[in-house]
Amino acid sequence: MFIDTAKIFIKAGKGGNGAVTFHREKFVASGGPDGGDGGRGGNIVFKVDTNLSTLIDFRYKRKYVAANGEDGRGGRCYGKGAEDLIIYVPMGTVIKEAESGRILADMSDFEPHIIAKGGKGGWGNSHFATPTRQTPRFAKPGTPGEEMDVILELKLLADVGLVGFPNVGKSTLVSVVSEAKPEIANYHFTTITPVLGVVRMGVGKSFVMADIPGLIEGAGEGVGLGHQFLRHVERCRMLVHIVDIAGSEGRDPIDDFEVINSELRIFNPELANRPMIVAGNKCDLATDEQVEEFKNYVEERGYKFFPIMAAIRDGVDPLLNCILENLSKLPPIVTFEPDPVPVKSEADFGDTSVEIEAHDGVYFVKGKWLLQLIESINFDDYESLQYFERVLLNTGVIDALRDAGCNEGDTVSIYDVEFDFVE
């Protein structure tokens, strides 16, 4: 079964808690705090596996949770960091955040991508010892790991994509120019999954051709299996439009040509500008007048035209040579850059309530939304730091600290960010 979309839930591990312990040793007075830090939670990491060609595994398992970090221990022993959870996907998988649609990664190479970061381990009480606070009886908890629903979309990596109505000869062409063996029969939608074939043109000369299953009118708006097939066209460096030039099924070749071009444009306007070659198949069933009329029509619109009979490979070699020549001038296969993390306003955080705990002049502020805020802040940038201060003021965090008894000079700790409170 070919599955090219899936929605899964991922959750990185929580960081381990810091320890509250004190050194105890015979004949050693006032050993002092020696609580160790907690370990880092496991990340969610995506990697490419070339043995996979479908997302079917995610049909049966939809929840992926990484391990938590270990808590710190006495003797300044740090907790063990958790191992990353690695999820393997096929080459060409695009990972998107389900809520916003933001692209997180394009798995078009063999580089691993961390999609959800594990939480940081909390500090043990040894970090909080000062000349005036010699026995701190508190420590930081570990921060929670990132969690989200993500959508996986498989977009095949191919140099050339064959597009056209069902039963126009796309599968036949792939079968005669490559080792691919798609199902071929005289009925619509014989091919219900994209088929890749490697076309070898000599030493060091080859390209990947994708047989995109037949499109129909309305495919760009999701009619039939439109979106399922059209997403695989997006990466192709160029397109070869196959048309039944004889109109053997009662359709007009020119209408077919315009309908498919329109569907490509509706689905993604960039596809309308993708380099395209037109191949008129089934010439043995067409009259000379039909061939000449269609040829004149497409060439007037700037497309190169090749009459072929794919079943017997007649006219196919000139088409392949033209494809190879065009590919040598085109940029590499399309990849999708990750979208930047959006800057959020106060209204975007939803519930901005916080919990505040005070221990020996240190005020610990907790709130799930604060983790999102900290992730978006560059603390080395003055304007970003001003934005951080403005959000704390506008959301009532500063007022909540005052109500909790926080005074100027006291330490405020918001997860892994610490600063002195200033009135």
- What is the DSSP track for 248-261? TTS--HHHHHHHHH
Domain ranges of the chain: 1-154, 160-327, 346-423
The identity of residue 180, as a single letter, is: A
**pLDDT the model gives residue 182:** 59
- pLDDT per residue as tens digits for the range 235-251: 889 999 999 998 888 88
Q: Would you place residue 67 in the very low, low, confident or very high pLDDT band (cuts 50, 70, 90)?
A: very high
Radius of gyration of the chain (CA): 30
The identity of residue 117, as a single letter, is: K
Q: What is the mean pLDDT of the chain?
A: 85
Integer Cα distance of 11 and 379 in angstroms:
26
| Chain centroid, CA 354 distance in Å | 32
Which strand (E) or helix (H) includes residue 398? helix 397-403
Residue 222 scores a pLDDT above 60: no
Task: Output the CA–CA distances (angstroms, integers) from residue 238 to 262, 272, 334, in the order listed.
Answer: 17, 11, 10
Count Cβ atoms within 10 A of the Cβ of residue 344 and give its class: 0-12 exposed, 13-18 middle, 19 or more buried. Answer: middle
Calculate mean pLDDT across residues 380-404: 87
By C-alpha distance, which of 49, 237, 275, 54 is closest to 158? Answer: 237
| Beta-bridge partners for 242 | 279
**pLDDT the model gives residue 107:** 93
**pLDDT the model gives residue 271:** 81
* Domain 346-423, CATH: 3.30.300.350
**pLDDT the model gives residue 229:** 64
pTM of the model: 0.74
**pLDDT the model gives residue 195:** 79
Task: State the residue for tokens 């191949």.
Answer: 279
Q: Cα dihedral sign for 271, 272, 274, 275? A: positive
Q: Would you place residue 220 in the very low, low, confident or very high pLDDT band (cuts 50, 70, 90)?
A: very low
Task: State the residue for tokens 């209408």.
Answer: 255
Q: Would you place residue 225 in the very low, low, confident or very high pLDDT band (cuts 50, 70, 90)?
A: very low
Q: Within 10 Å of residue 195's Cβ, how many Cβ atoms?
A: 23
Between 111 and 385, whose confidence is greater? Answer: 111
Please provide the distance, in angstroms rounded to a whole number, between the alpha carbons at the two ends of the chain. Answer: 63
**pLDDT the model gives residue 323:** 94
> What 3 state SS string does 296-327 have?
HHHHHCCCEEEECEHHHCECHHHHHHHHHHHH
Which strand (E) or helix (H) includes residue 355? strand 355-359
* Pairing assessment for the beta strands 411-414 and 362-366 based on DSSP bridges: parallel
What DSSP designation does 234 have?
Answer: T
- pLDDT per residue as tens digits for the range 179-194: 877 555 454 444 456 7
- pLDDT per residue as tens digits for the range 83-97: 999 999 998 999 999
* Domain 1-154, CATH: 2.70.210.12
Task: Identify the architecture of domain 160-327 in CATH.
Answer: 3-Layer(aba) Sandwich (3.40)
* Residue 325 phi, psi dihedral angles, 5° rounding: -65, -40
Between 4 and 114, whose confidence is greater? Answer: 114
**pLDDT the model gives residue 188:** 46
Residues 6+ apart with CB under 8 A from 260: 163, 164, 165, 215, 241
